[in-house]
């Protein structure tokens, strides 16, 4: 769960990168950073917190250059520490390199051990640093060393790399995480989501293909493919929950996918009678609209969200997480009193949010709550960069449907079927391992350690 951005050959590169990090902020709030290239060197600044905490006008001025990359981080491996903030910048035998990574490598600890056995000194605990070391250890020139490094790593990576001369963007052969190419005048832009392109008025060119490396130098683009020996496996959860609805992700409008998920759920919940359909804001809004249109049950705003509280998930303890839900979501009593409601959300992870919401809807006088979730039960951890807890903390891994319903405290609970979710998301080539345990890469004990290291457990 990270956002990346890069712009090559633009005099305002640092400012544009800074603005774009705001558009990508939902992808990570733990740290932010920008690196820029000027006169054969790379300057950078990283800090803990959201973009506005980390950068001042003065800081951005100091980063002015001809090209820049930026990163927002939500840790999935490596702890929450400034050393893990990206872009990571290193002096190597290929010159100075800055790297921003979204995704999670599945063989990083093995690679790290091999490199450390050969004397490498790591400065961070992120999997991303292994990529820099591999490039630095490469035998050939920079391009050959990069390709060798990418062939050695497994798992999920969308990368943006900056050198004083060029910018490079790469996507893993399975295409787990999104990465798109845009154009602003004579400058190429790469970023996780198209919403960042729209913000800076860049046009959308295309996706960076799974297994593609693009080298961009003075506005000229060269594309290279690394061998693909595995099927494409895009993260379906990007469409269900993670990406912004105003983005195109994997070539699909996220908002229309979420509406389709809501329509599909309405089909599967046909028997449920209610006075109104309401979303858990903000993530449930497009799905609840789709549900309402399909079912002809009126859409209502039954919960108001405060935008001044950060994600509930980054609260350190269970008790504080629960209070944070109250702070964030407040029921609209006049809309709810005496009503039978269908409550739509995209997913249930631990059940904490849903339980608190159900409780506050009851306190507001709601008569019946029928909960609809636009994805199947999450039963297994993600090893590819979505921050999910260890399997034991996933409520659907531990309890039956009726036990979850009772825990949350709703009158009925409906999850969208896997088939309907995949169809609404556009058909095929998705990773659905968090719902099925069908991991598209080998799994190992090492990865079990990795899972659950992220924000949920802190």
Near ligand AMP in 363-402, by CB under 6 A: 386-388
By beta-carbon proximity to ligand AMP, the closer residue of 37 and 342 is 342
Residues 6+ apart with CB under 8 A from 64: 11, 13, 14, 15, 36, 38
Catalytic residue, chosen from 2, 170, 235, 382, is 2
Of the listed pieces 103-111, 186-194, 247-255, 346-354, which binds ligand AMP according to CB under 6 A? 346-354
Closest approach of Cβ 356 to ligand AMP, in Å?
8
DSSP state for residue 456 in the 8-state scheme? G
Tell me phi and psi for residue 59, to 5 degrees: -60, -45
Q: Is 191 a binder of ligand AMP (CB under 6 A)?
A: no
Closest approach of Cβ 139 to ligand AMP, in Å?
39
For residue 87, say if its preceding peptide bond is cis, omega within 30 degrees of 0: yes
Q: Is 280 a binder of ligand AMP (CB under 6 A)?
A: yes
Measured CA to CA in angstroms, residue 336 lies from 14, 129, 277 at distances of 47, 51, 11
Q: Give me 51's structure tokens.
A: 């973009």
Look at strands 368-373 and 412-415 and give their pairing.
parallel
d(CA 27, CA 218): 29
By beta-carbon proximity to ligand AMP, the closer residue of 145 and 312 is 312
Among 345, 381, 424, 432, which residue interacts with ligand AMP (rule: CB under 6 A)?
345
Residues 6+ apart with CB under 8 A from 178: 158, 192, 193, 207, 234, 238, 243, 249, 250
Of the listed pieces 166-174, 350-358, 359-367, 399-407, which binds ligand AMP according to CB under 6 A? 350-358
- The number of residues that bind ligand AMP (CB under 6 A) is 18
Residues 6+ apart with CB under 8 A from 16: 7, 10, 68, 184, 200
Near ligand AMP in 218-277, by CB under 6 A: 241
d(CA 381, CA 375): 15
By beta-carbon proximity to ligand AMP, the closer residue of 138 and 290 is 290
Active site residue 235: no
- Sign of the Cα torsion 100, 315, 282, 285 reads positive
By beta-carbon proximity to ligand AMP, the closer residue of 44 and 415 is 415
Of the listed pieces 159-167, 211-219, 343-351, 358-366, which binds ligand AMP according to CB under 6 A? 343-351
Cα of first residue to Cα of last residue in the chain, in angstroms, is 16
373, 346 Cβ separation under 8 angstroms:
yes
Q: Is 414 a binder of ligand AMP (CB under 6 A)?
A: no
Closest approach of Cβ 393 to ligand AMP, in Å?
9
Closest approach of Cβ 431 to ligand AMP, in Å?
14
By beta-carbon proximity to ligand AMP, the closer residue of 190 and 348 is 348
Among 283, 374, 380, 381, which residue interacts with ligand AMP (rule: CB under 6 A)?
283
Closest approach of Cβ 112 to ligand AMP, in Å?
25
Closest approach of Cβ 282 to ligand AMP, in Å?
9
- Hey, which residues are catalytic here? 2
Q: Which residues bind ligand AMP (CB under 6 A)?
A: 241, 280, 283, 311, 313, 345-354, 386-388
């Amino acid at each position: 769960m990270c956002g990346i951005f890069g712009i090559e050959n633009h005099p305002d590169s640092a400012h544009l990168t800074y603005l774009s990090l705001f558009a990508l902020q939902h992808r990570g709030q733990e740290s932010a950073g920008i690196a820029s290239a000027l006169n054969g060197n790379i300057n950078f600044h990283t800090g803990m917190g959201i973009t506005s905490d980390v950068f001042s006008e003065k800081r951005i001025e100091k980063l002015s250059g001809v090209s820049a990359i930026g990163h927002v981080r939500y840790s999935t491996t490596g702890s929450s520490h400034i050393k893990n903030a990206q872009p990571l910048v290193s002096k190597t035998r290929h010159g100075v390199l800055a790297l921003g990574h979204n995704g999670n490598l599945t063989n990083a600890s093995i690679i790290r051990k091999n490199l450390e056995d050969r004397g490498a000194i790591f400065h961070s605990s992120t999997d991303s640093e292994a990529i820099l070391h591999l490039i630095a250890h490469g035998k050939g020139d920079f391009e050959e060393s990069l390709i060798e490094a990418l062939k050695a790593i497994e798992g999920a990576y969308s990368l943006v790399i900056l050198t004083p001369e060029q910018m490079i963007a790469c996507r893993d052969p399975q295409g787990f995480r999104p990465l798109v190419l845009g154009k602003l005048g004579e400058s190429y832009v790469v970023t996780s989501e198209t919403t960042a392109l729209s913000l800076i008025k860049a046009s959308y060119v295309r996706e960076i293909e799974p297994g593609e490396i693009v080298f961009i130098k003075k506005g000229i683009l060269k594309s290279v493919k690394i061998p693909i020996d595995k099927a494409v496996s895009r993260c379906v959860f990007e469409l269900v929950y993670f990406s912004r609805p105003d983005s195109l992700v994997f070539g699909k409008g996220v908002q229309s996918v979420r509406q389709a998920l809501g329509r599909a759920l309405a089909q599967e919940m046909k028997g449920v009678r209610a006075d109104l359909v309401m979303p858990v804001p903000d993530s449930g809004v497009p799905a609840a609209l789709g549900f309402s249109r399909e079912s002809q049950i009126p859409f209502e705003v039954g919960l108001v969200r405060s935008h001044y509280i950060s994600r509930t998930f980054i609260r350190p303890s269970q008790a504080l997480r629960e209070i944070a839900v109250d702070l964030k979501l407040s029921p609209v009593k006049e809309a709810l009193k005496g009503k039978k409601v269908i409550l739509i959300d995209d997913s249930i992870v631990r059940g904490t949010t849903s339980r608190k919401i159900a409780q506050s809807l009851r306190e507001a006088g709601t008569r019946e709550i029928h909960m609809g979730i636009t994805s199947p039960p999450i039963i297994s951890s993600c090893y590819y960069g979505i921050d999910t807890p260890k399997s034991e903390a996933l409520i659907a891994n531990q309890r039956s449907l009726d036990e979850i319903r009772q825990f949350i405290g709703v009158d009925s609970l409906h999850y969208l079927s896997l088939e309907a979710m995949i169809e609404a998301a556009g058909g095929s080539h998705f990773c659905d391992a968090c719902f099925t345990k069908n991991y598209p890469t080998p799994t190992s004990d090492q990865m079990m350690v990795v899972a659950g290291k992220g924000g949920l457990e802190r």
